[in-house]
């Protein structure tokens, strides 16, 4: 992510509608495209505003209160949700306490990215365009995750440094050859892949090799499910939740498993396919047997508080339905 430009009140108009600010450069980005299908029917205007810094700035720019506070915006019509990225459980869980948007108008997805919710084979296989092969789909996902797991464990360290120390110029780790083929190569590539001393010079934060190694090993243990685990398994570790979903989704929402014809009659591929599969799942969300619980809770919140022609079903402070 890049550091956001200041967002002024003139950038958005609050009006009377409910706005949900999300990550993405335009309405065709994956997050706003899918969330509009899920929440638009409940009077929610999903607006992409760029990276996570822009998302948080947008809500604060539109916040109003008789007693202004820089700590917590009280604009009942404005909400935001950002990717989790590296953030620890405590920070994320505090935003979901009492249900989504009960503790804060600024929500954080419980998974690494919004795309992670579309990695669940049981969920996405309910799409009308699914052509069978649930076991093959799960195997393809697991193989791609295994290929990337050491890189992701290292990349989580770099993301933590960028966000915690607001060091936005830290370059993305480069993957070349076998640089992330196993834990030893990945650890070495992490230590050599960035100018960590630049963080020390500019932010007065000492990032020792020991600290970097410890963070990498902690991330890897979290993903694989234990210090002695070398191979990913379904149901073990948090790799499905905490690896970068945007890098894994192509192995799941693939023309190997889904067939959606384009306007020219040829099957869609890549991001166009992702969007169409997501659109279908979100449109039929209420009828699906398997649904990610976080999306259910967010849907329930906006459904239970949606405006009606004569009054409201609830207030912005109403708890989400159970």
Single out the residue of 78, 47, 48, 45 nearest to residue 60, CA to CA: 78
State the DSSP code for 166: T
Per-residue pLDDT, 63: 63
- The answer to whether the CB of 32 falls within 8 A of the CB of 24 is yes
- Give CA–CA dist 99/93, Å, rounded: 10
Quick check: 86 pLDDT over 60? yes
Which 3 state secondary structure label does DSSP give 209? helix
Per-residue tokens: 312: 């409201």
| 244-273 per-position pLDDT tens digit | 999 999 999 999 999 999 999 999 999 999
Single out the residue of 269, 300, 295, 265 nearest to residue 282, CA to CA: 295
Instruction: Count CB neighbours of 300 within 10 A.
Output: 17
Rounded to an integer, the average pLDDT of 63-76 is: 50
**211 vs 58, 151, 181, 191, 319, CA distance in Å?**
34, 17, 22, 10, 41
| 179-235 per-position pLDDT tens digit | 999 999 999 999 999 888 888 788 777 788 999 999 999 999 999 998 666 789 999
| 88-131 per-position pLDDT tens digit | 999 999 999 999 999 989 999 999 999 999 999 999 999 999 99
- The answer to whether the CB of 173 falls within 8 A of the CB of 151 is yes
Domain borders along the chain are 9-115+292-312, 134-250
| 121-151 per-position pLDDT tens digit | 999 999 999 998 999 999 999 999 999 999 9
Per-residue tokens: 222: 């979290």
Question: Of all helices (H) and strands (E), which one includes residue 10?
Answer: none
- The answer to whether the CB of 44 falls within 8 A of the CB of 100 is no
The phi and psi torsions of 176 (rounded to 5 degrees) equal -135, 130
The phi and psi torsions of 236 (rounded to 5 degrees) equal -125, 135
| 14-61 per-position pLDDT tens digit | 445 799 999 998 888 999 999 999 999 999 999 999 888 888 878 777
């Amino acid at each position: 992510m890049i550091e956001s430009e200041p967002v002024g009140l003139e950038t958005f108009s609050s009006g009377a509608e409910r706005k949900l600010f999300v990550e993405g450069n335009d309405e065709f980005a994956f997050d706003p495209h899918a969330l509009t299908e899920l929440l638009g029917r409940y009077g929610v205007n999903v607006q992409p505003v760029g990276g996570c810094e822009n998302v948080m700035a947008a809500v604060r720019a539109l916040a109003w209160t008789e007693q202004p506070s820089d700590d917590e915006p009280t604009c009942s019509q404005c909400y935001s949700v950002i990717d989790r990225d590296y953030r620890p459980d405590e920070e994320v869980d505090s935003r979901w306490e009492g249900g989504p948007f009960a503790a804060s108008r600024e929500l954080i997805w419980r998974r690494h990215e919004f795309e992670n919710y579309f990695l669940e084979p049981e969920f996405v296989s309910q799409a009308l365009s699914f052509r069978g092969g649930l076991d093959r789909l799960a195997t393809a996902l697991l193989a791609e995750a295994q290929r990337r797991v050491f890189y992701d464990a290292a990349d989580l360290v770099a993301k933590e440094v960028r966000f915690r120390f607001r060091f936005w110029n830290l370059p993305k780790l480069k993957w070349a050859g076998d640089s992330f083929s196993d834990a030893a190569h990945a650890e070495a590539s992490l230590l050599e892949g960035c100018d960590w001393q630049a963080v020390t010079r500019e932010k007065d934060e000492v990032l020792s090799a020991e600290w970097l190694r410890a963070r990498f090993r902690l991330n890897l243990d979290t993903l694989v499910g234990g210090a002695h685990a070398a191979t990913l398994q379904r149901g073990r570790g948090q790799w499905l939740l905490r690896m970068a979903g945007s890098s894994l989704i192509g192995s799941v929402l693939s023309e190997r498993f889904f067939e959606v014809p384009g306007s020219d009659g040829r099957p869609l591929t890549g991001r166009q396919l992702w969007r169409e599969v997501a659109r279908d799942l979100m449109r039929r969300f209420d009828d699906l047997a398997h649904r990610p619980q976080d999306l259910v809770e967010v849907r329930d919140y906006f459904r239970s508080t949606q405006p009606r022609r004569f009054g409201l079903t609830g207030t912005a402070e109403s708890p989400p339905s159970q």
